[in-house]
Amino acid sequence: MAKQFTYSEIFHSAQGEGMYTGTPGPWLRYFMCNLQCNGFGQKDPTDESTYELPYKDLDTSKYDKLEDLPVFEFGCDSSYSWSALYKKFQHKGTPREITDRIYASMKNEFNPEGLFIHPGSGAYWQHLHITGGEPLMPHAQECTTQVIQCMMNDANVPASITFETNGTQELTPDFIDQIQRYGCPVHWSISPKLWNVAGED
């Protein structure tokens, strides 16, 4: 039986930052992160005693699914993608299932098959965005290598892949090998976390 991996959500949206701002594509948000970034939005990120952390106090029994959760004003705005308090809202799937769900997020009346290549022009127009949590945690790297392989087997690959990462995770040999074999542009949107902003060393 194929191994299942935990992720927070798969959705379709435009890229909001970097050189591909405005480019459409599916997003895969993995669960788990090695940082918490509780200092975000705080009056004094260097004074932990003053932190307001609404994600810790939210009554999760009032919500049925992750998509209904509020966006947190203080602390990490995606705490639901790493805090154990929100694990019940996460999804699981094999790499094959996750790949098919990524395709499904692209389907509409103009792209009924969920293709990365534009059905009309034949040009690459959809990019894949991978975020978190931290999308380069070891389990996420393992899953991503298999998702990319599924896409290569299907001959349905994105124009490029962007990883939104905090830049702290070492890349595994298998991940590096798969990215090199993939052969399409891979971009690293790196967001270092500093103590005076995020409360992270």
pLDDT tens for each residue of 26-78: 999 999 999 999 999 999 999 999 999 999 999 999 999 999 999 999 999 99
Within a domain: 11: no
Q: Is 113 among the domain residues?
A: yes
Q: Give domain status of residue 176, yes or no.
A: yes
**What local confidence, expressed as pLDDT, does residue 18 receive?**
78
Segments forming the whole domain that contains residue 143: 24-44+70-198
Q: Name all contacts of 191-194 with Cβ < 8 Å and 24+ positions apart.
A: 191/164, 191/165, 191/166, 191/167, 192/166, 192/167, 193/35, 193/37, 193/166
Q: Answer whether residue 61 is part of any domain.
A: no
User: What is the predicted pLDDT for the residue at 201?
Assistant: 63
Given pLDDT bands bounded at 50, 70 and 90, which one contains residue 89?
very high
Q: How many domains does the chain have?
A: 1
Q: In sequence order, which residues have a C-beta less than 8 Å from that of residue 171 and are 6 or more positions away?
A: 136, 141
199 — pLDDT class (breaks 50, 70, 90): confident
Residue 19 has pLDDT above 90, yes or no: no
On whether residue 126 sits in a domain, the answer given is: yes
**In a domain? residue 151:** yes
**pLDDT for the residue 200:** 77
CA 41 – CA 198 distance, rounded (Å):
8
- Residue 64 has a pLDDT of 94
pLDDT in tens, 129-156: 999 999 999 999 999 999 999 999 999 9
Residue 146 has what DSSP assignment? Answer: H
Instruction: Over range 180-187, report the average pLDDT.
Output: 88
Would you state the pLDDT for residue 196? 75
- Mean pLDDT, rounded, for 178-184: 88
Structure tokens at 101: 């769900």
- Average pLDDT of the residues in 111-136: 94
Which uninterrupted H or E stretch holds 187?
A: strand 186-190
DSSP string across 6-63: EEEEEEEEE--SSTTTT-EEEEEEES--S---TTTT-S-TT-GGG---HHHH--GGG-
Q: Tell me: cis bond preceding 120? Omega within 30 of 0 counts.
A: no
**Does any domain span residue 7?**
no
Higher pLDDT, 197 or 89: 89
The region that residue 117 occupies, defined by phi over 0 for left and psi between -120 and 50 for alpha, beta otherwise, is beta
Mean pLDDT score across all residues of the chain: 93
Q: What is the mean pLDDT of residues 103-108?
A: 97
| 56, part of any domain | no
Residue by residue, DSSP assigns 78-105 as TGGGT-GGGGGG-EEE-HHHHHHHHHHH
